[in-house]
Structure 1
Amino acid sequence: MADFRTMTMECYSLAEVLAVAKTHPFYNPAIAYPADTETIRSLRKAVTAQKENPELQEQPLLEKKTLYGNAGRPFTIARLIYFRYKAIERLTHDVDPRNAYRQSSYVSITGGGSGGVPMMFAVDVHENRRQRSQMGEFLKLCGVIQPGDWVLSTHLAGGFYRSLDLMTEIMENAGATVLSAGSYMPVADVAKSLADYHVNILTGDGSQVVQTVYHISLMAQEDRDRVRLDKIIYTSEPLTGPQRAFIKTILGEVKIISVLGSAEAGPWAISSPDLTGEQSLTSNSTDFVIDTRNMLVEIVSPSVIVGASSPDPILLSQGEEGLIVQTSLQRLRNPLVRYITGDIGSIHPLPDAACAVIPEADWGHLRVLRMHGRDHRFSFKWYACYFEFDRIDAFMQAEDCGILQWQILLGRLESSPQATLEIRLLRSPPRDGILSDDALIKRLEAFFLVFPENEHLFRIVFLDGLGGFERSATAGKVIKFVNRWN
């Protein structure tokens, strides 16, 4: 490890991030535009001169609806809901020369999985490139990428999605040789390329990984034997216990690794069996290693979301499970401060296994984030996209849809460990102003982001009565969301 004993860090101080946040429309409704380069430079100089140690907890928590909401409420910790969807929408479309949000920005898309128009989340281009470089160093530091590794990526590109170029550059920064296959390469060609080019690492969204391994399982034995993968690196959605078991059955003792990230925060955490041990196939949690020089993580009581009074403190101690709140020290122009991700997790010290891999000089900066999954009061996930219940409900209530009752079933494809999504609908009789069945199907497919590669996992069922819905055993109510997956 002599060639990379410690990571080269070029992050901002917490004081700098908080100073810029006070001048940003995300956090201050009185501000029209984010600060320009000169203003940010002045703010940083002022922070350096003051030499104060700011308290992060003095900054109000930022909920997803704060960033992507569309109404205004008092900006307090108790309420938490200071809706800011309109801020991003306005900044995206405002072509005023003073609008720094649109200048020199790396743009990635988010929110499409929740219905409506996907929102563009902008990051300074230089901050983005530096973060990719640092994530590559982090992969190398954690032993995920070794000299001589060849990686094939099936990540998505196009339609404003950027996961392919993001992951390709991160892997290259870590020292790997990368084949950029993309999501539109036929799975048969992907499997053949894995063998032909002696690739040892497959990376992609969780669903893409499962799809590729499923195809490998159907190949002739002599062709399967030519595929020699020793690592799987997945992103975007967790692999379930059955999926992990299936992958290992087909590929043998392959290491299953994950990179955690989002449009708001970028890539920021790594899960690897070499660091935290092999994940149990029955576990509903995943351990990620995080670097506190890049990302500050707090765990807060879930009671803060609903505004309920509770004897529990808002900030939870190490090991306690609650909502994950993140503050990025890599993003300054459009800061991410005390952002409630909607995920449930807990913080733990670095285990001995990780200390055996990572240089001692870095131990004090690293922690384990135990990710327990999404807070299902907000959303569920299918085919790498989150779908928020409040927006689904608003969609289903649209007058021209003519929907009297609806139900969503998240299930499993019988022939492979892939998640299916079934929409059951009871509609009013046809009349003027009501969409036809075909028109409604098209709208539903657009809302739930149905593409040729996942249409076999999506189904719409029109019912003529309540008998076709799954109902509660007690009151006989139609269950809006049936989770057969977890």
Structure 2
Amino acid sequence: MATERYQLADVLAVAKVHPFYNPDAVYPADTEAIQGLQELIDRTFKATLQQQPFLNKKTLYKVIERLVHDTDPLNTYRRSSYMSITGGGSGGIPMMFAVDVHENRRQRAQMGDFLKICGVVGPGDWVLSIHLAGGFYRSLDLTTEIMENAGATVLSAGSYMPPTEVAKYLADYHVNVLTGDGGQVVQVVYHISMLPGDYRNRINLEKIIYTSEPLTSPQRVFIQSILGDVKIYSILGSSEAGPWAISSPDLTAEHGLTGSSTDFVFDTRSMLIEIISPSNVDGAANSDQTLAPQTEPGLVVQTSLQRLRNPLVRYNTGDIGSVHPLPDTAFAIVPEADRKHLRVLRMNGRDHRFSFKWYGCYFEFDKIESFMQANECGILQWQIILDKLATTPQATLEVRLLRRPQAGLISDEDVIDRVRAFFLVFPENEHLVRIVFVDDLEGFERSVTARKIIKFVDRWNH
């Protein structure tokens, strides 16, 4: 049935013969092979989850790149798949995570049911979605179908509809829910703030549901100052795991909304979460001793019970968080039969030792370093500054570059084009980007103590 999940034993059995986890496996198992594995399962796998090595992004990217480009008819990875794209930031080739088409539809149905159970969306809600569609990204159809599965009526506006039209239709069709990426939501609300008072009064948004990039405390304050008593929710997901958790002030009493963390509620029937000390994630098999103490923060490691054909087992997300019991504040909303299965994941953000996030995309420092070392660019020193606009709480990106004065290098214009392509600069976000060529080292920001050049200056999160 639509709400059915897989047993952990089934997922672990398939993982043992899948190329994500077994270097001797050439292709993922086909349907017949998976059915054979399920028939032979001893059902004693639950105790051996900690014996499964961690899966990291580099391994995943490498295996997926091979499978995507292998056109052999025996390659089941390319068969009957919903392709979920991620990456492309950091100048890399986007990763195409393949999900069985039927698993994908079931997960959308399960997530819609989860939203309804938790009181986020339900029948009677009119939702306008400004999510992205095209360029292989499918966040628009993903979110609209989830909302419909929750019982809502959805207007699929998309990211190319200008804020002027979005505001008009919010008013004309009496829409009470706006959903989109965090940056998109802020842009629309900023436009609403510029409208005449009588026009603004026609817009009666009760809920904001954002995805992809977090809303900061200043952004939340800005949204609520314009829209009044609006509730702000979020859906957490990824290409690898799909949508799997929600943030709701009704469930968690708005813990973390004024700080650097956000509470997300997830269903242990769909997702298992382990919190691991960063020093213990080395790719080897690990015992229970690597688990962080209860409620202590660490690296978030996922095992999905919604994906079998291409399983996600002990996947190191690169996020920092901690797991907590469902608070009593949720009991008035969540049905009693579901409460024991729900937990809270307190997300503290990305492990900034490896990457940072801007405009909904992660950029990895090792790939930035490689990009900046291209000989034809002649970049002697670089610096990235993450900041915010003065007029509206949106994240800005500034790239400072010092080039060597030498013949044979590409022009400044060509370097700018490369930087824009690397950081995925498009017409909708180019006003948030500044590329600066400096004349000497004094053009960079330095550390207070050793006067070292700071490669990454983060004013956005501080």
Paired residue type of 1:26: F
Equivalent of 2:7, from 13, 25, 32?
13
TM-score by length of 1: 0.92
**In the superposition, relative to structure 1, how do residues 461 and 183 fare at CA in structure 2: closer, same or farther (>3 Å)?**
same
* Counterpart check, 1:324 vs 2:317: no
Contact 2:12 2:45 survives alignment (8 Å): no
Instruction: Judge which range, 280-289 or 351-360, deviates more.
Output: 280-289
Corresponding residue of 1:62: 55
Instruction: Find the aligned partners of 2:175 and 2:377 in 1 and give their Cα distance.
Output: 48
Query: Aligned pairs, how many?
Result: 457
Corresponding residue of 2:439: 464
Mapping for residues 206-285 of structure 1, pairs under 5 Å: 206-279=182-255, 281-285=257-261
* Counterpart check, 1:28 vs 2:22: yes
Cα offset, 1:263, TM superposition: 0.2
Cα offset, 1:305, TM superposition: 4.0
Deviations along 1:416-461, one digit per CA (max 9) or x if unpaired, are: 00000000000011422x2211111111111100010000001100
Deviations along 1:166-224, one digit per CA (max 9) or x if unpaired, are: 00100000000001111010111011110011000000000000110011001011111
Deviations along 1:204-251, one digit per CA (max 9) or x if unpaired, are: 000000110011001011111011000000000110000000000000
State the secondary structure of the residue aligned to 1:175: coil
Instruction: Find the aligned partners of 2:364 and 2:190 in 1 and give their Cα distance.
Output: 29
Cα offset, 1:306, TM superposition: 6.8
State the secondary structure of the residue aligned to 1:113: coil
Instruction: Judge which range, 155-164 or 434-443, deviates more.
Output: 434-443
Equivalent of 1:51, from 43, 57, 61?
43
Instruction: Find the aligned partners of 2:25 and 2:401 in 1 and give their Cα distance.
Output: 44
Cα offset, 1:99, TM superposition: 0.2
Paired residue type of 1:317: P
TM-score by length of 2: 0.97
Instruction: Judge which range, 313-322 or 456-465, deviates more.
Output: 313-322
Equivalent of 2:317, from 341, 350, 355?
341
Cα offset, 1:279, TM superposition: 4.1
Paired residue type of 1:374: R
Mapping for residues 145-184 of structure 1, pairs under 5 Å: 145-184=121-160
Deviations along 1:69-119, one digit per CA (max 9) or x if unpaired, are: xxxxxxxxxxxxxxxx2x111100110000000000000111212222112
Gaps (5+ residues) in structure 1?
A: 1-6, 69-84
Mapping for residues 285-434 of structure 1, pairs under 5 Å: 285-305=261-281, 313-432=289-408, 434=409
State the secondary structure of the residue aligned to 1:353: helix
Deviations along 1:128-178, one digit per CA (max 9) or x if unpaired, are: 010000000000000111221000001001000110010010000000000
Instruction: Find the aligned partners of 1:270 and 1:306 in 2 and give their Cα distance.
Output: 29
Identity %: 72
Corresponding residue of 1:39: 33
Instruction: Find the aligned partners of 2:266 and 2:175 in 1 and give their Cα distance.
Output: 28
CA RMSD between the two structures: 1.5
State the secondary structure of the residue aligned to 1:299: strand
Cα offset, 1:278, TM superposition: 2.1
State the secondary structure of the residue aligned to 1:409: strand
Instruction: Find the aligned partners of 1:305 and 1:21 in 2 and give their Cα distance.
Output: 19
State the secondary structure of the residue aligned to 1:114: coil
Paired residue type of 1:153: S
Instruction: Find the aligned partners of 2:117 and 2:258 in 1 and give their Cα distance.
Output: 29
Corresponding residue of 2:178: 202
Deviations along 1:253-306, one digit per CA (max 9) or x if unpaired, are: 100000000000000001101110124553111111110000000001111247
